Amino acid sequence: MFLSIIQIIVSIALIVLILLQERSSGLSGVFGGGESSFYSQRRGIERLIFIATIVLAVIFALLSLWNLFI
């Protein structure tokens, strides 16, 4: 029960961080258009959000595996 609650909290935080990372609007960003470049360097809060997203994704994956084996 406790593990499931933690997994739900981590998943909601992961969704929020992913939504905060949106760089370009519309379909032009999907096909490489728009003003931002794929290889641009992340700085400041953008870098912090990116790293936090990776950490939460790893935590979510580990929690999911742990929940599977228990």
pLDDT digits (tens, 9 = 90+) for 9-58: 999 999 999 999 876 554 545 555 555 555 667 788 989 999 999 999 99
Contact 50, 21 (CB under 8 A): yes
pTM exceeds cut of 0.75 = no
**DSSP conformational letter for 37:** -
Identify the pLDDT of residue 23.
Answer: 67
Q: How many residues does the chain have?
A: 70
Q: Residue 51, SS3?
A: helix
What was the pLDDT predicted at 60?
A: 97
Cα(10)–Cα(52) distance, integer angstroms: 11
Report domain extents, the chain: 1-22+43-70
